Each structure stands twice: as C-alpha cells, then as structure tokens.
Amino acid sequence: MAESVSGSVEAMKRPGFARFVDRLEPGDTLVVTKMDRLGRNAIDVMATIERLGRMSVRVRSLDLGCADLTSATGGW
C-alpha cells in the first residue's frame, strides 16, 4: 500500500521530500512547476527556499516565469 502524507505536514517533515533535498548538491537547480510544491503555506515555502539557498541550491518556479527564488533579484 502506498504511503500518504497529509497536506498539513511541513515540506521538510515529508519523508520523500526530505530524502530528495538530501540528495541535492551545491550548484544544483531545483525547478518546480508551482511554488506551492515547496511547502504547505507561505511560511513553509519561504523556509524551504531559505534552506535550499543556504545549501547553494537555486530554486526556480515555472509559474513565476522561471524566476530564481534564491536570488536577491529573482532573475536567471
């Protein structure tokens, strides 16, 4: 049976997402279709983006015109 996780669980507390983030390396770029894939609410999304930024992982969201969410300017 497939494991399910409630949408109310913070991104980094989701086992699959946490394992994925652990595999990212400095210089990697994470591309998501929508920002809501990064967390359950705005605070969780920001915490995820900040964590990835500290890891030197770029985050881009296609629904924002591919903006680099870890950049101070938000550009490519």
Residue 62 structure tokens: 């296609």
On whether residue 76 sits in a domain, the answer given is no
16 within some domain: yes
Nearest CA among 24, 36, 43, 39 for reference residue 62? 36
Per-residue pLDDT at 64 = 78
pLDDT tens digits for range 3-62? 554 557 888 899 999 999 999 999 999 998 888 888 889 999 999 999 999 999 999 888
Q: Which residues constitute the domain of residue 16? A: 11-68
> In this structure, what CATH number is given to the domain that contains residue 58?
3.40.50.1390
- Number of domains, the chain: 1
73, part of any domain: no
